[in-house]
Amino acid sequence: MATAVAASPAQSRKTETYTDTKRRDDVRGLNIAAARAVADAVRTSLGPRGMDKMISSGEQEVIITNDGATILSRMSLLQPAARMLAELSRSQDAAAGDGTTTVVVLAGSLLRRAQSLLSAGAHPTAAADALHRLATRAVEVLHAMAIPIELSDRDSLVKSASTALNSKVVSQYSSLLSPLAVDAALSVVDPAHPDLLDLRDIRVVKKLGGTVDDTELIRGLIFDKKASHAAGGPTRVENAKIAVIQFQVSPPKTDIEQSVIVSDYAQMDRILREERNYILGMVKKIKASGCNVLLIQKSILRDAVTDLSLHYLAKAKILVVKDVERDEIEFITKTLNCLPIANIEHFREDKLGYADLVEEVSVGESKIVKIMGIKDMGRTSTVLVRGSNQLVIDEAERSLHDALCVIRCLVNKRFLIAGGGAPEIEMSMQLAAWAKELQGMESYCIKEFAEALEITNILEENVVQPLLVSTSAITLACECVRMILKIDDIVTVR
């Protein structure tokens, strides 16, 4: 009896336990399938021969684009891993501005190879670790093939911007938009901070009418609205003294919502007289400072201007542009080199901006206000984008943004590499050769992932692109795939 008891622990040690990993494999396979489905959805829009997508929303809004970030941001994705690829595209957009489709297709290609590795018996952690080493080595390969560039080399900058536009709907206008993007970007680079380019200093104004050929770079300021001349005010002012105000040129209201009932005509006349005197006093202070152009911020509390105040401003020969958006004030004041005025008591000449000419001009069937010849103009640029319909204008704006982002990449990291699929093929060849020097499972994984980098439908000749676009794409794609590989369950919580 004692012998039997003594033998039982040894027997239990020899017994193998069975662990059911089917659920983990199913969850991982489901995640990979969902992410690959997203990548396949945008794959056909990649490269110079890429096709466009027409996105139709439930609100009858239609967008025609082949910009990966735009397509994925409009997709209604429910599966968590699929949403990760949409966020991956947004990350690439924030980091480099271009390559938003490339990074998703690259992640999908890596996931396809990862799936075959897992089917062959590789452990997910081993595949993820190999992918981390591959990303580090791939970045080294890209740096080795990069060519330094100076911002004074305008031709190379224009060629890089053209690469970003080659696959767009407006690619036939790249000879116009590429130099325009380069000039706009370089004009806002501050010599004190030569490695920084803030795209918020470049304002894009869209105006329906004409064609994309009519798009132009404005060395000044544009307002997509006409001057307020209902009371017969001026529409053209030379030697302009411009004020940006954030207060209302209208009668004050009570702080609480209430009604005042006036039953006596004498009292009514007194209220109207006080209102007139109040507005007239404000207009006299504005005129006394020498101001002859008034830019009025949009008000949510009460009317920024009334018919009476417009009448007095017209008599004072002051050009008025009303309903200026709050988020535009910083850009406007930086361009005009002036200060916003929040109260009539602070209205002084030293807070004004100066320009040679402010005039209302016709563009298509509507009018805009142009401010030209600004004295001591800040480092900003304005681009007026034209187009025959709203879809073309919106896509032209997105394409211009991508071209500007490419220039921003080159300002931040001044290296160029060959484009058109060349970096991917070079990385694939060198990583496959490196895999032969390694041993074990890591060698097998890296060889498999190296083959995933051969994206053949983007091949093109005489194309260059910023180094930052490719390094960002490979790093972000590998990071996203590693994260998906390491997930073995989905836990739903309330």
Q: What is the pLDDT of residue 69?
A: 85
Query: Please, which pLDDT band fits residue 76 given cuts at 50, 70 and 90?
Result: confident
Q: What is the pLDDT of residue 5?
A: 44
- Counting residues of the chain whose pLDDT is more than 90, the rounded percentage is 44
Q: What is the pLDDT of residue 83?
A: 92
CA distance to 129, 147, 276, 455, 482, per residue, from 125 (Å): 6, 36, 78, 25, 8
- Counting residues of the chain whose pLDDT is more than 70, the rounded percentage is 93
- Cα separation, 428 vs 359, whole angstroms: 58
Q: How much is the mean pLDDT over the chain?
A: 87
Phi-psi region at 476: left, alpha or beta (left = phi > 0; alpha = psi -120 to 50): alpha
Known catalytic residue at 100: yes
CA-atom Rg of the chain in angstroms: 31
| Mean pLDDT within 227-253 | 87
Give me the phi and psi of 28, to 5 degrees please. -65, -45
- Cα separation, 42 vs 69, whole angstroms: 10
Known catalytic residue at 402: yes
Q: What is the pLDDT of residue 366?
A: 85
Q: What is the 3-state secondary structure (H, E, C) of 95-129?
A: HCCCCHHHHHHHHHHHHHHHHHHHHCCCCHHHHHH
- Cα separation, 315 vs 59, whole angstroms: 46
Which of residues 50 and 361 earns the better pLDDT score?
A: 361
- Cα separation, 266 vs 312, whole angstroms: 24
- Cα separation, 317 vs 308, whole angstroms: 14
Q: Which CATH superfamily is domain 18-148+415-485 in?
A: GroEL-like equatorial domain (1.10.560.10)
pLDDT of residue 412 exceeding 70: yes
β-partners of residue 296 are: 245
Query: Please, which pLDDT band fits residue 74 given cuts at 50, 70 and 90?
Result: confident
The angle at the Cα of 164, spanning 163 to 168, to the nearest 5 degrees, equals: 110
Which two structure tokens, joined as six digits, stand for 110?
């890596």
Query: Please, which pLDDT band fits residue 12 given cuts at 50, 70 and 90?
Result: very low
| Mean pLDDT within 353-365 | 90
Catalytic residue of the set 382, 402, 471, 475:
402
Catalytic residue of the set 70, 100, 215, 471:
100
Q: What is the pLDDT of residue 462?
A: 67
Phi-psi region at 78: left, alpha or beta (left = phi > 0; alpha = psi -120 to 50): alpha
Query: Please, which pLDDT band fits residue 3 given cuts at 50, 70 and 90?
Result: very low
pLDDT of residue 329 exceeding 70: yes
Q: What is the pLDDT of residue 132?
A: 93
Catalytic residue of the set 65, 101, 382, 475:
101
Q: What is the pLDDT of residue 267?
A: 83
| CB contact set of 265 (below 8 Å; sequence gap of 6+) | none
pLDDT of residue 249 exceeding 90: no
Q: What is the pLDDT of residue 7?
A: 45
Q: Outline where DSSP puts E strands in 165-265.
A: 202-208, 216-218, 220-223, 236-245
Query: Counting beta carbons within 10 angstroms of the beta carbon of residue 217, is it exposed (0 to 12), middle (13 to 18) or buried (19 or more)?
Result: middle
Which of 94-103, 176-185, 334-343, 350-359 comes out lowest in average pLDDT?
Answer: 94-103
Query: Please, which pLDDT band fits residue 264 given cuts at 50, 70 and 90?
Result: confident
Q: What is the pLDDT of residue 4?
A: 44
Nearest to 449 by CA among 80, 101, 72, 134: 134
Which of residues 42 and 21 earns the better pLDDT score?
A: 42
Which two structure tokens, joined as six digits, stand for 414?
């001044």
Under DSSP, is residue 15 helix (H, G, I), strand (E, B) or coil?
coil
pLDDT of residue 380 exceeding 80: yes
pLDDT of residue 417 exceeding 80: yes
Query: Please, which pLDDT band fits residue 64 given cuts at 50, 70 and 90?
Result: confident
On whether the CB atoms of residues 328 and 382 are closer than 8 A, the answer is no
Known catalytic residue at 21: no
Q: What is the pLDDT of residue 1?
A: 40
Q: What is the pLDDT of residue 10?
A: 47
Class of domain 220-376: alpha beta
Query: Please, which pLDDT band fits residue 99 given cuts at 50, 70 and 90?
Result: confident
pLDDT digits (tens, 9 = 90+) for 425-453: 899 999 999 999 988 898 999 999 998 88
| Mean pLDDT within 248-265 | 78
Instruction: Please state the domain extents for the chain.
Output: 18-148+415-485, 152-213+381-413, 220-376
| Mean pLDDT within 126-133 | 92
β-partners of residue 371 are: 221, 358
- Cα separation, 294 vs 187, whole angstroms: 27
Catalytic residue of the set 65, 67, 163, 394:
67
pLDDT of residue 279 exceeding 50: yes
In this structure, CATH architecture of domain 152-213+381-413: 2-Layer Sandwich (3.30)
Which of residues 332 and 190 earns the better pLDDT score?
A: 332
Query: Please, which pLDDT band fits residue 33 given cuts at 50, 70 and 90?
Result: very high
| Mean pLDDT within 271-293 | 90
Known catalytic residue at 235: no
